[in-house]
């Protein structure tokens, strides 16, 4: 099946739904089994079934199965937020004394999370994306995972995932990729060597900002070494299921990171139009980026689809269908940035991406507020930078809105 068809039909059991086009919402905290023995079997993982929604729920399973198909993985675990999914994806394999090698151009929340992990003895070594000498030099005996975003948010640098996976694997560690900004529409990291992919489904997957949620997907291909990952030693016997089995049996249920069934339902409605929305958003972003570049030579426009982008060549090679729906502009000063944002009438001024509506934000004073000056620079955040998450509006209306706002500030 091609992408849009699979969004509607892959991983769905029509009979189980009694032919309904949408999945039922099992808005129930707990599930009865016919016998005490039956419940025991489920707790022992000796029989399939549901007992408690924190551990599993059929509406959530339905969402997970569709994401697994979408990302081309083996199994997924849906979480209450993208941050919960990232936390679970990493803490399932890490312990005190372990180290992460991460691209420095990360979403601010992830930088904050890595900072929090320090208190638990987990250190992060930041590297410049695609700087292979620097990345090679960052490995040591404690390195247990490599992490990056397919398209850095809001740096908009593009990670060469295939090459990064090769480097990680040569050192015997897995590659975890945050695919939120690219989405499976542009790129499926698991098909290019990544081992675990994480999506904040609050963003493009949901599409209309009605649910916070996240999901992680395992390729099932990484061979976990008992010595290096002692937490997985009881699970390696499950082969490709080792990582997910450990997560479901332990960290995920114990941290109470589950998604709500209602939000799993809403995400599935969003998911079905991901391809159509991304196609439109990528096209709009290309047009808007070109418009800024042509009309406002004083601005610095950053978009992987522009030949002026340092990451255009990798984007061109790696993505078939577009360059994503996010671009940034630098307009000269913090004052101008705020004035421009305040004068927009169509775009929403808020902290989010991936909505059907166009969204703008000044990252330095919001999502990167807790980052140090150096961290901000690495993440491509500057005092005069505006991030634009382009929506599905008619492009002429978007251009006109930005043009009038820019005219107001140039007066």
Ligand X SMILES: *Cc1c(COP(=O)(O)O)cnc(C)c1O
Q: Which residues bind ligand X (CB under 6 A)?
A: 81-83, 107, 109-110, 149, 153, 178, 180-181, 200, 202-203, 212, 214, 353
- If the CB atoms of residues 50 and 107 are measured against ligand X, the closer one turns out to be 107
- If the CB atoms of residues 53 and 202 are measured against ligand X, the closer one turns out to be 202
- If the CB atoms of residues 80 and 245 are measured against ligand X, the closer one turns out to be 80
State which residue has the least CB distance to ligand X.
82
Closest CB 356 distance from ligand X, rounded Å: 16
- If the CB atoms of residues 153 and 219 are measured against ligand X, the closer one turns out to be 153
Closest CB 366 distance from ligand X, rounded Å: 12
Closest CB 149 distance from ligand X, rounded Å: 5
Closest CB 291 distance from ligand X, rounded Å: 24
- If the CB atoms of residues 59 and 213 are measured against ligand X, the closer one turns out to be 213
Closest CB 1 distance from ligand X, rounded Å: 27
- If the CB atoms of residues 353 and 398 are measured against ligand X, the closer one turns out to be 353
Closest CB 80 distance from ligand X, rounded Å: 8
Closest CB 255 distance from ligand X, rounded Å: 14
- If the CB atoms of residues 53 and 201 are measured against ligand X, the closer one turns out to be 201
Angle between helices 82-91 and 108-117 in degrees, nearest 10: 40
């Amino acid at each position: 099946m091609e992408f849009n068809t699979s969004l509607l039909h892959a991983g769905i059991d029509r009979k189980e739904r009694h032919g309904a086009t949408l999945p039922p919402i099992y808005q129930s905290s707990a599930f009865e089994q016919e016998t005490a023995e039956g419940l025991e079997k489920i707790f022992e993982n000796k029989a399939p079934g549901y007992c408690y929604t924190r551990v599993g729920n059929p509406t959530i399973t339905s969402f997970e199965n569709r994401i697994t198909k979408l990302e081309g993985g083996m199994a997924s675990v849906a979480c209450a937020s993208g941050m919960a999914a990232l936390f679970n994806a990493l803490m399932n394999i890490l312990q005190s004394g372990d180290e992460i090698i991460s691209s420095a151009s990360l979403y601010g929340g992830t930088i904050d999370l890595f900072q929090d992990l320090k208190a638990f003895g987990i250190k992060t070594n930041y590297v410049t994306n695609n700087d292979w000498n620097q990345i090679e030099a960052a490995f040591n005996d404690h390195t247990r995972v490599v992490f990056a975003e397919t398209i850095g948010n809001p740096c908009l640098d593009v990670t060469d995932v295939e090459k990064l996976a090769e480097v990680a694997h040569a050192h015997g560690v897995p590659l975890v990729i945050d695919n939120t900004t690219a989405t499976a529409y542009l790129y499926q990291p698991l098909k290019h060597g990544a081992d675990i992919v994480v999506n904040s489904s609050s963003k493009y997957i949901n599409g209309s900002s009605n649910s916070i949620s996240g999901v992680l997907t395992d390729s099932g291909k990484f061979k976990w070494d008992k010595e290096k990952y002692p937490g997985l030693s009881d699970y390696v016997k499950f082969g490709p299921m080792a990582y997910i089995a450990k997560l479901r049996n332990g960290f995920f249920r114990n941290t109470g990171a589950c998604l709500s069934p209602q939000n799993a339902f809403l995400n599935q409605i969003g998911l079905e139009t991901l391809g159509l929305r991304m196609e439109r958003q990528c096209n709009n972003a290309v047009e808007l980026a070109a418009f800024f570049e042509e009309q406002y030579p004083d601005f610095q426009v950053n978009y992987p689809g522009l030949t002026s982008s340092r990451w255009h060549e990798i984007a061109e090679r790696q993505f078939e269908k577009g360059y994503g729906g996010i671009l940034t502009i630098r307009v000269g000063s913090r004052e101008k940035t705020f004035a421009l944002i305040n004068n927009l009438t169509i775009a929403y001024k808020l902290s989010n991406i991936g909505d059907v509506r166009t969204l703008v934000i000044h990252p330095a004073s919001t999502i990167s507020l807790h980052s140090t000056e150096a961290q901000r620079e690495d993440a491509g955040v500057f005092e005069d930078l505006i991030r634009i998450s382009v929506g599905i509006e008619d492009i002429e209306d978007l251009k006109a809105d930005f043009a009038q706002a820019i005219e107001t500030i140039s007066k």
